[in-house]
Amino acid sequence: MVSFSQMQGVSAHVHSYYESPIGLLLVRGSERGISSVLFVEGEREDAGVYEILQPCMDQLHAYFSGSQHNFHSLPLAIQSTDFQLQVWEYLITIPYGETRTYSQVAAGIGHPKAVRAVGSAVGRNPLSLLIPCHRVVPVSGEVGEYAHGAWRKEWLLRHEHSVLGA
């Protein structure tokens, strides 16, 4: 299971970039764990190759090549509210290639009336792919919104379905 650590105090962060099939990912972390994986636009800043980020980079490569279905072995170090953490922990349980609605997530964490709050927590996820917020869809069954573009969300869902042969 994933190990979450709530970030406290100051820790030296490093960053690197991963070229994915759907855009550049900025990966940040420290000795505590990975703190963000976000799609970025524009020019990349200088970044090194850091040993503490290498497991994440390797697993991103495996995910996009179709040989990895989760990121449970990576330590994650994020800042969040207790509610956000509850939502993000639930998202990690959504199986590869499957989706859940915002209302299913709300019910799954024991707050069935907190659908909008769940949507807000999903939208604030700093660990794209590692916490699979792309697997949460509206009750209408449409792809819905995604902080990094609905086209990316659609690509990720199709990618997972094609890997599974669904």
Q: Which residues are catalytic?
A: 133
Query: How many CB atoms within 10 Å of residue 21?
Result: 8
Residue 108 host element (H or E): helix 102-108
Which residue has tokens 């799954």?
A: 108
26 SS3 class: strand
Q: What distance, in Å, lies between the first and last C-alpha atoms of the chain?
A: 25
Torsion sign across C-alpha atoms 9, 2, 98, 128:
positive
| Closest CA relative to residue 28, chosen from 42, 38, 19, 40 | 38
